[in-house]
Chains A and B, each alone.
Chain A
Amino acid sequence: MQKSKVKKNIQGSVMDKIRKDHISMRPRIYFIIGSFLFAAGLFFAIIMAVFFVNVAVFRFSGHSPFVFLCMGRPGLGPFISSVPWLSLLVSVLGMTSGLLILKRYDFSYKNNYLLIVIGLVAMVLTSGFILSTLRFNEKISEEKFLRPFYRQKYLSSGWVIGKVEDTEADFMKVVTPGGKHVSILIDEDTEFFPGEDIEVGDTVYVVGEWEGDKFKATKVTERKQGNFLRMQKEKRRSKSFF
């Protein structure tokens, strides 16, 4: 008896709301726009992820922060400060939001979601890598709103990256890709990695501290397979940085 009373109440209450127009069906267009926005959001998130993976790879290949890691602990700070974190963060955000949107689609639970995640990440990384090898970056890095993402940092309070112009027993002169000339002081405490055979024209990564307008080196390493040509192209682009 009680059961039928409850049943009647739900039915009556729902139909009463419908009859009195307290509730109404959302129009069809609402769902069409919703689907379109989700598809657009998914597309935009993936494009954003691919683009920023490309920016990160482009910047890594221009001046690799990993070279600093060869210097051990003193290289850790310079490494952290020269990694393109913003690009990496935006690409991770793009991938995450893409995956969250994908979860709304039926195929995300009808298939193995882990495989979908791996597939999407692999696709984004591969596309980003391929894009970074095209000349496309050199063109678009001139765009005002994209410049901050492409701006390379070649010297800071604790490190300098540059091409050797002159070298003596107690100093080196380097020029950064931004065009700044820096005198590097070398003493008996300066460590060279892997050796001291640095010549004019080599690209060096120097860790140390500023003493006035000169930079006192504590560790110096040479980038054997650096892409200095690319770094020099940066010179024109990053004038404003220095």
Chain B
Amino acid sequence: MSISVNLSDEELVDFVRKNDKESYIEVVRRYQEKLLRYVNYIIRDENQSDDIVQNTFIKAYKNLHGFNTKRKFSSWIYRIAHNEAVNIVRKKKNEISLEKNSWIGEKFAGKEDIIGDFEKKEAVKMIKLSLNRLPIKYRSPLTLFFLEEKSYEEISDILRIPKGTVGTRIGRGKGLLKKICRNQK
């Protein structure tokens, strides 16, 4: 087993920078799944998600010396992935229906029982059903909070918005989701 497996994200980045670029494979291993899932929620296009995540890892590698190891690496790499995804969404603008991304439901089917809180469970269900109809402004914080289980602090760092705004957007997003669900019924 490689030494890099036991390191924290920040220690791993430091190790890659100073000693062994080959250990970057561990960074990719740790974040590939998570980033693919997040990017897919934002752009809802599996093929493009792969390209975005690949670009994210390439950009992160190039700018690895720009990362401050006193900060959280996950927020930093999510931020890069978020920016890449948002750029694509802005370019595309056309919405893809949720039916084309039925795998989202499958992917989270086994995860629901982890979330104990009923309200959270409801929100996750609603997000999965109505994500495509939500503006990206609300889609990102809701996805990060309910599906990626990030804290307000981390979401604030990823989206570069104040913590208060994170809370407001999650609250409003939930409200919008409820409306969408009601209309669907």
Contact = CB atoms under 8 A, between A and B. Distances in A.
Interface stretch (A24-32, A48-56, A198-206): A24-32
A25 B162 contact: no
Interface stretch (B60-68, B112-120, B138-146): B60-68
A18 B24 contact: yes
B62 A26 contact: yes
Interface in A17-40: 17-19, 23-28, 30-31, 34
Of the candidates A10, A34, A110, the one having the most CB atoms from chain B within 10 angstroms of its own CB is A10
B72 interface: no
Interface in B10-53: 17, 21-22, 24-25, 28-29, 32-33, 36, 46, 50, 53
Contacts of B137: none
Nearest to A30: B65
Nearest to A19: B22
A117 to B, nearest CB: 14
Chain B at the A interface: mostly helix, strand, loop or mixed? helix
B65 A31 contact: yes
Contacts of A43: none
A26 B62 CA distance: 5
B66 A26 contact: yes
Interface string A31-73: 1001000000000000000000000000000000000000000
Nearest to A9: B50
B161 interface: yes
A109 interface: yes
Contacts of B57: 10, 14
B5 interface: no
Interface string B87-126: 0000000000000000000000000000000000000000
Contact of A11 (B29, B66, B162, B163): B29
A225 interface: no
Contacts of A118: none
Contacts of A24: 62
* Interface footprint category on A: 20 to 34
A14 B55 CA distance: 9
Chain A at the B interface: mostly helix, strand, loop or mixed? helix
A65 to B, nearest CB: 41
A11 B32 CA distance: 8
Contacts of A110: 156, 162-163
A112 interface: yes
B54 A10 contact: yes
B21 to A, nearest CB: 6
Nearest to A103: B160
Nearest to A25: B64
Given A109-B156, A109-B160, 9 more contacts: A7-B36, A10-B32, A11-B32, A15-B25, A18-B21, A25-B21, A30-B66, A110-B162, A112-B162
Interface of B: 17, 21-22, 24-25, 28-29, 32-33, 36, 46, 50, 53-54, 57-58, 61-66, 156-157, 160-163
21 contacts: A6-B50, A7-B33, A7-B36, A9-B50, A10-B32, A10-B36, A13-B54, A14-B28, A14-B61, A15-B28, A18-B22, A18-B24, A18-B61, A25-B21, A25-B61, A25-B62, A28-B65, A30-B66, A109-B160, A109-B162, A113-B162
6 residue pairs, one from A and one from B, having the closest CB atoms = A31-B66, A28-B65, A109-B160, A14-B57, A11-B28, A10-B54
